A = this chain, B = another copy of it.
Amino acid sequence: MTHRTVGHPAGLPDDPHANVTAPTPACPVEITLAALHGRWTTLVVRELLRGDRSYSELRAALPTLSDKVLSDRLAQLGEAGVVERDRRPGWPPRVRYALTPHGHRLGPVLQALWDWGSGGPEPRGRG
């Protein structure tokens, strides 16, 4: 998103992205939101924060998530460096999905999202 102004302790004072005037994929905020973007994404991440999972374990944990979207999400999270795919030889095919170290660091991010969302006057139906 291209911020700054957020009030960082000390760092990133002159990051050019902090003053962008249009959405750009290079902005750190955009990068994170892109990693988490789309329906089901955060639930998949939550599931993997609990431990590594197979494809069918993920389907079992999220029963109404379609194959297409699940593989879309796993690919998206792989591209973002959040999830690692571990294929093991033999039959039947066994594949394990696990968070990378970088992926694990989404924990505090999701916590911040959780905290804000549970913290206040959320909607304002009318006034």
Can you name 17 A-B residue pairings with CB atoms under 8 Å?
A1-B46, A3-B42, A3-B110, A4-B46, A6-B108, A6-B110, A7-B107, A8-B114, A15-B118, A22-B65, A23-B40, A27-B117, A31-B122, A32-B117, A102-B119, A105-B116, A109-B112
Q: Cβ of A10 < 8 Å from any Cβ of B?
A: no
Interface size on A, residues (CB 8 A): 61
Q: How many copies does the complex hold?
A: 2
Is there contact, CB below 8 Å, between A109 and B113?
A: yes
Task: Name the distance in Å between A124's Cβ and chain B's nearest Cβ.
Answer: 5
Task: Name the distance in Å between A116's Cβ and chain B's nearest Cβ.
Answer: 5
Q: Cβ of A86 < 8 Å from any Cβ of B?
A: no
Given A5-B46, A108-B116; 10 other pairs, CB 8 A cutoff: A1-B46, A2-B43, A5-B50, A6-B107, A23-B43, A28-B117, A31-B116, A31-B118, A32-B114, A105-B120
